Structure formats: C-alpha cells, structure tokens
Amino acid sequence: MNKKSLGFTGVLAGFALAISSFVVPSASAASEIVVWADESRGPNLTKVIAAKGDWVPGYTVKIVTFSSFDALKEAFDKATDATGPDIVVGANDWVPTGAKSGKLAPITLTASVKARFNPTQLFDLTYKKSLYGVPIDVNNVAMIYNEKLVSSAPKTFGEMVSYYKANKASKNLKAGLCVAGGGMSWGAHSVFSALGADAYQFNSRDEIVYNRTFNYPKFSNNIKTYLLDGKKSNGFFPATDTGCKDNFLAGTVPFAVIGNWEWKDYVAKGFAMNLMPVPGVTADAPGKMFGSVSGAMLTTYAAKHGVSAGAKSLMTDFFASTSGQVAYQALEGRPPAEKGAQSSSAVSAGQKGFGAAASTAGIPQIGAFLNNNKGGANYWDSAPAFWTAVLVDNKDVATESKKLANIWRSNTTAGKSDL
C-alpha cells in the first residue's frame, strides 16, 4: 500500500468512525418494559398505559402491536434474546409450548393477587404446576338467536332443528345453527357437548376423569337424529364456519355461536345480546362452552433485558389489578378476568352477558389435553375433521364418533402429566 492509499484509508476510517458514531443505535433503554400484543389489544393497551404513565415507577412501558393474532404468535415463536418482549399478551394455550421451549418464565403470585381470579383462570395459565401469566380477559362463546325470526329462546336442540325444518323454505334459511366465532373446534365445542360429546369428562365434584370418554353410541344417535337425513346432512349445522356471521347478520341463519370479542358487531346491527348456551338434547343439559383466558405472560427475555422485577410489577400492578383491567376493558370490550373489574359499573352489559353465559355452562380450556397429539391427532384438528367426515363426506357416524372419542380420551390421558 503506497502513501496515497494509506492516506485514503486513513480518511476513510475517520469518515466511517465518525458516521458510525451517528448511526450506531443506542441500546434499548434498560428501564423499558416491552409488551407485545395483537392488533386489537395493542392499540388499547397503548392508550391505557399512556393515560397513566407510572404503572411501574421508574420504568417506561412500550407496547408493540402486531397486525394480527397469528402474526403475534409467529413473531413470538421466532423471538430471540435481542428481539423478544418482556411480556406477551397471548392465548392460554401458548403456555405449554412457551414453557417447554424456554420462552416463558414462571411467576409466583402472592395470595392476595391470586384471590383476584377464579382458580380455573389461573389453571388455564399453568403448566406443570407453575404459573406463567396473569389472566386479562375471558374468552368464550355463547349462542344468540335472531329475535326477528325466533320469538323466544329455544329450550332444546330439537326445538331449534324443528324450527329450521319448518321455516327453511319460507324464510330462505341457509342453515339453522352455525359457528360464527371460535372455529369448528373451539367455538363448536358447545355443539359437541349439547349432543353428548365433551372434550374431557368431569365428575360430579368437578374433577377430571381420565379413564372415561363421552358416550359415542349416544352421541352418534343424536347426530343422526338432529343433523342428518339418512346419511346426508339435513343442512341445519354447516361443517364450516365460513360465512356464518354474514348470514346470521343477514337474517338467513336464526341461531349462531358468537365470540365475546365481536359482540359489538352484532349490537351495531340491532341484535339483542340474548346470550345463552347451546341448548342440549334435554332442557337440563345445555352444551358446555370452553371458557379460557388470555393472559399477560412473563417471558424469559425480561431477565435477559434486566427488567424482570419491573415486568413482574407491571403484571401484578397493572394487568392483574382492578383499575388496570377496568381501564383496559373499557376500550377493549371483552369480559375482564379480574373479579373486581367484573363487578365494576364500567363494564358493559355485553361483557357481563358473556361472563354470565360462561359461568352457566363453561368448562376450562386445558391446553395440556387439547394440544396433545398422543391419540394420533389433537382436539383442534380432530374436531373440524369430524364435522367434515359426517356432514360432508357422509361417513358412518358411529365409526367416526368412536374414532373421535378414542382420540380425545388418549389426549386427556396423555396430558395428565403436563398439568
């Protein structure tokens, strides 16, 4: 290298260092607690946090919003020490996989904080006896009926089917009952249950029974009676959820299972929140709907970012507090999980209605059972496949019901060790 080149290099090095000192980003502030949330919760959390800036004195809280719930999940799955959040607001069924993969960190709540929640809600966020988050909102579905079509609440499943058959042609009904919220597995559980098939069984003391599954001969008979004409679907209950909401809103479906996150859409169209469980075959046995919670979950990244204590304080002082949940749910519009917030006058009738429906006929969504593939498939995959097999492919109901029962029983038995 000659003198000229050396000179160039020197000048260049000087330039580079000077410029890099401008462009090198400062490390993220050690006092910043980063929370990831989806497109609905994120903006509302941002507003609530901004309105009262000192939820955790000495720290700032940054909410990162993702374009959808799926995008949030994908980003969290790919998060690294550098990019990961300190707290993630997600579904309770993220707990087993997040804990297994070392992304979620356990948190121990004091007795007074625990007392603010229903034990089953804390159970939803528990994996192998460790708690990984605090419940924020209750997720559940409930059935509503179109009062312009149906004058009073149906008492039995058969009553709904009879109405559909009698009015199908005259009222141009596209279906009788459909699932508008929660999909053909989670949302449709109350229909499974109404016809006699529950994902897992409880005894009279509300304890899980591991060696018993639903009575599949009885369930298949109910399917034959209420959903089939011979071997084919009678059109009362579609095998997919596509178009259900639009058709219910358009008045071509009289009964729909809707999610509590979208009740405002129905109210906006003039529907009354006549929320109820899906009626059972008999009036005293309504279908049980899954009740689950979304939670603010502590991640292992919080400790790596040096904000572990601050993040835990944010979880208990904001996410698990009455004032935090009231302020947040006033914008988000879901039923709050915290007991004080549930009884607050600031919570709307729709939010309370779903809460009441859940307490009438709800069972906890247990990720350890539902995510389990030990039976050859998990609940999430096998439930929609059952509807397709029976209502679309016209397969033998008894055979398919038996397969379903075996899968769910295997899932439950195998998931026992994860509780």
- Interface with another protein (CB under 8 A), residue from 120, 323, 360, 388: 388
- Interface with another protein (CB under 8 A), residue from 121, 146, 294, 378: 378
- Interface with another protein (CB under 8 A), residue from 247, 329, 365, 412: 247
Q: Which of residues 162-221 bind another protein (CB under 8 A)?
A: 174-175
Rule CB under 8 A: say whether 51 interacts with another protein: no
Strands 201-202 and 255-259: unpaired
Calculate the CA 170 to chain-centre distance.
37
Give 94 or 157: the residue with its C-beta nearer to another protein: 94
- Interface with another protein (CB under 8 A), residue from 34, 45, 56, 63: 56
How near is the Cβ of 274 to another protein at its closest, in Å?
24
Instruction: Tell me the CB-side half-sphere exposure of residue 34, using CA atoms within 13 A.
Output: 22
Contact assessment for residue 65 and residue 117, using Cβ atoms and an 8 Å cutoff: no
Q: Which of residues 308-347 bind another protein (CB under 8 A)?
A: 308-310, 312-313, 315-317
Rule CB under 8 A: say whether 82 interacts with another protein: yes
- Interface with another protein (CB under 8 A), residue from 3, 17, 170, 268: 17
Which of these ranges, 18-26, 157-165, 265-273, 284-292, lies near another protein under the rule CB under 8 A?
18-26
Q: In 3-state terms, what secondary structure has residue 90?
A: strand
Number of residues interacting with another protein: please give it, by CB under 8 A.
88
Contact assessment for residue 145 and residue 254, using Cβ atoms and an 8 Å cutoff: yes
Q: Which of residues 83-122 bind another protein (CB under 8 A)?
A: 93, 96-97, 99-103, 105-111, 114
User: What's the sign of the alpha-carbon dihedral 183, 338, 276, 189?
Assistant: positive
Rule CB under 8 A: say whether 303 interacts with another protein: yes
Which own/partner contact pairs does 109-114 have at CB distance under 8 Å and 24+ positions apart? 109/134, 109/316, 109/320, 110/316, 113/316, 113/320
The CA-to-CA distance between both ends of the chain, in Å, stands at 69
Instruction: Work out the burial of residue 268: count CB atoms within 10 Å of its CB; fewer than 13 is exposed, 13-18 middle, 19 or more buried.
Output: exposed
Which of these ranges, 22-30, 164-172, 266-274, 284-292, lies near another protein under the rule CB under 8 A?
22-30
Measure the CA angle with vertex 357, ends 225 and 146; round to 5°.
Answer: 60
Give 78 or 205: the residue with its C-beta nearer to another protein: 78
- Interface with another protein (CB under 8 A), residue from 89, 249, 307, 347: 307
Rule CB under 8 A: say whether 74 interacts with another protein: yes
Rule CB under 8 A: say whether 130 interacts with another protein: yes
Which of these ranges, 216-224, 283-291, 331-339, 369-377, lies near another protein under the rule CB under 8 A?
369-377
Torsional class of 394: left (φ above 0), alpha (ψ -120 to 50), beta (otherwise): left
In b/e form, how buried is each residue of 203-221, taking b as 16+ CB within 10 angstroms? eeeeebeeeebbebeebbb
How near is the Cβ of 177 to another protein at its closest, in Å?
12
